[in-house]
Structure 1
Amino acid sequence: MTSTPDTKGPIRFSFGDSPELADRLLALVLAGKKTATCGALRDIGRDEPMPEIGRRDVVLNGAGEEVCVIETTSVEVKRFDDIDPSFTDLEGEGPYAEWRAGHEAYFARNGGFSPDMEIVCETFRLVTVLPAGRDLYAKVARPIFIVTDIESDGPTPLHNSMLSFASVAVEADGTRHGEFEAVLTPRSDRMQNETTMAWWATQPEAWKAATEGAEDPALVMPRFADWVESLPGPKVFVAAPMIFDGLWMDHYLDEYAGTRALSGPFKGRQIFRGGGICLYTMAGTLRGAPYLDWGMSKLPAEFYGHIPHTHRAIDDANGFANVLVELLKLSSALPPIQGSKSDFR
Structure 2
Amino acid sequence: MADLPPHYRDLSTFSFGDSPKLADELLALVLAGKKTATCSALRDFALESEPLPVPGQLYVVLDGAGEPACVIETETVEHKRFDEIRPEFTDREGEGDYAAWREGHERYFARNGGFSPDMEIVCETFRLVEMLPAGRALYNRTASPIFIVTDIESDGPTPLHSSMLSFASVAIEANGTRHGEFEAVLTPRPDRKPDETTMAWWQTQPEAWEAATTGAEDPAIVMPRFADWVESLPGPKVFAAAPMIFDGLWMDHYLDEFAGTRVLGGPFKTRQIFRGGGVCLYTMAGTLRGASYLDWGMSKLPAEFYGHIPHTHRGIDDARGFANVLVELFKLSRALPPITGSASDFR
- Does TM-score exceed 0.5, indicating one fold? yes
Q: Distance in 2 between matches of 1:16 and 1:205?
A: 55
1:40 equivalent in alignment to 2:41: yes
Aligned with residue 134 of structure 1, among 136, 139, 142:
136
Separation of aligned partners in 1, 2:53 and 2:20: 22
* Residue in 1 that maps onto 2:278: 276
User: Which residue in the other structure is 2:77 paired with?
Assistant: 75
RMSD, aligned CA? 1.3
2:344 match: secondary structure: helix
CA deviation string 1:177-209 (max 9, x = no partner): 111111111011111001100111111111111
> Is 1:10 aligned with 2:11?
yes
State the partner residue of 1:176: 178
Q: Please state how far the C-alpha of 1:98 moved relative to its aligned partner.
A: 1.7
Please point out which of 227, 237, 242 is paired with 2:239. 237
Cα shift at 1:91 = 1.1
Aligned to 1:123: 125
AA partner of residue 29 (structure 1)? V
The one-character-per-residue Cα deviations of 1:295-331 (angstroms, maximum 9, x if unpaired) are: 1111111111111111111111111111101111111
Output the TM-score relative to the length of structure 1: 0.95
Where in structure 1 do 4 or more consecutive aligned residues deviate above 6 Å? none
Equivalence for 2:86: 84
CA distance in 1, matches of 2:322, 2:223: 21
**2:251 aligned residue (233, 249, 257):** 249
Question: Where do 1:186-225 residues align within 5 Å?
Answer: 186-225=188-227
Q: Percent identity over the alignment?
A: 81
Q: What SS is found at the alignment partner of 1:102?
A: helix
Q: Which amino acid aligns with 1:41?
A: L
Aligned to 1:266: 268
| CA deviations over 1:29-70 (Å, ceiling 9, x no partner) | 111111111111222343343222222211001111110011
Does 1:227 pair with 2:238? no
TM-score by length of 2: 0.95
Q: Which runs of 5+ in 1 are unaligned?
A: 1-7
Question: Shift of residue 9 of structure 1?
Answer: 4.6
The answer to whether structure 1 residue 299 and structure 2 residue 301 are counterparts is yes
Deviations 1:100-138 (A, max 9, x none): 111111111111100111211111111111011111111
Instruction: Return 5+ residue gaps in structure 2 as ranges.
Output: 1-8
Find the aligned partners of 1:119 and 1:91 in 2 and give their Cα distance: 14
Question: CA 1:215/1:9 → structure 2, altered by over 3 Å: closer, same or farther?
Answer: farther
Quote the Cα distance in structure 2 between the aligned partners of 1:160 and 1:277: 24
Deviations 1:247-303 (A, max 9, x none): 000111111111110012222211111010000000011111111111111111111
Query: What's the counterpart of residue 335 of structure 2?
Result: 333
Partner SS for 1:341? coil
Q: What number of residue pairs does the alignment pair up? A: 338
